[in-house]
Amino acid sequence: MSGRGTKTSEKRFVAYLEGLASVIGHADRKAPLRDYCVGLMACGGRKSVEPMAAVTAPERTAAQHQSLLHFVGSGAWSDEKVLGKVREMVLPAIERQGPIEAWIIDDTGFPKQGRHSVGVARQYCGQLGKQDNCQVAVSLSIANHHASLPVAYRLYLPKEWTEDRDRRRKVGIPAEVGFQTKPE
């Protein structure tokens, strides 16, 4: 890619982040949002905040690690607003290639160790092709022949999680969140 193409990509990325920053609330979240997104793209393999911190702030990795953990763990933004903003910014580019032809409802399993991450349970994990410890997210995407775009995304909460008050309290699951099947 020429230097000119790189500059164009950088400008588009900055504009994309500005759009996301407009819906995440407080201005103090803008830099961690940028660092988190850069970290997602720069780090191969497992996407955890430790390698992201090393890549995005090598001179102050420990402080960056804490900053990214706080951003991810205590981010008080609206997922719906962020997805809405992504849809607003990306959908026109997809539709320039043709009209939306399909709505795709899917569940995706993320293998996990332990039992403390929200929603982790022994359940079917498509990545593994069997039942094992995992989190599952249900998503709705729209697509045409050129691209797809997730427009809604929700972590599936197994029944055992909805019935365990102590576990819910520890991870901050609101009382009004009840059990729903994946199709629901």
Same domain for 57 and 110, yes or no, is no
CA-angle at 184, arms to 178 and 25, nearest 5°: 65
Where is pLDDT greater, at 152 or 45? 152
Within-domain flag for 64: yes
What contacts 97, CB < 8 A, 6 or more positions away?
144, 145, 146, 147
Same domain for 111 and 56, yes or no, is no
Confidence of residue 115 (pLDDT cuts 50, 70, 90): confident
Within-domain flag for 50: yes
pLDDT digits (tens, 9 = 90+) for 28-40: 889 999 999 999 9
Region 51-72: what's the mean pLDDT?
91
The overall average pLDDT reported for the chain is: 90
Q: How far apart are CA 173 and CA 37, in angstroms?
A: 25
Region 145-157: what's the mean pLDDT?
94
Same domain for 108 and 166, yes or no, is yes
| Amino acid identity for residue 73 in this structure | G
On the CB side of 167, CA atoms within 13 Å amount to 15
Same domain for 63 and 106, yes or no, is no
Same domain for 10 and 61, yes or no, is yes
* Per-residue confidence (pLDDT) for residue 135, from 0 to 100: 94
Q: Is this prediction's pTM over 0.85?
A: no
Confidence of residue 3 (pLDDT cuts 50, 70, 90): low
Within-domain flag for 181: no
Per the structure, the complete domain to which residue 36 belongs is given by 3-73
End-to-end CA distance of the chain: 45
CA-angle at 93, arms to 89 and 95, nearest 5°: 115
* Per-residue confidence (pLDDT) for residue 42, from 0 to 100: 85
Q: Angle, nearest 10°, between helix axes 49-56 and 61-73?
A: 130
| Amino acid identity for residue 10 in this structure | E
Same domain for 116 and 153, yes or no, is yes
Confidence of residue 44 (pLDDT cuts 50, 70, 90): confident
Within-domain flag for 157: yes
Other C-beta atoms lying within 10 Å of the C-beta of residue 182: 14
pLDDT above 90 for 129? yes
Within-domain flag for 105: yes
On the CB side of 31, CA atoms within 13 Å amount to 7
Within-domain flag for 113: yes
Same domain for 165 and 115, yes or no, is yes
Q: How far apart are CA 150 and CA 83, in angstroms?
A: 8
Number of domains in the chain: 2
Within-domain flag for 92: no
Q: How far apart are CA 158 and CA 167, in angstroms?
A: 12
Within-domain flag for 43: yes
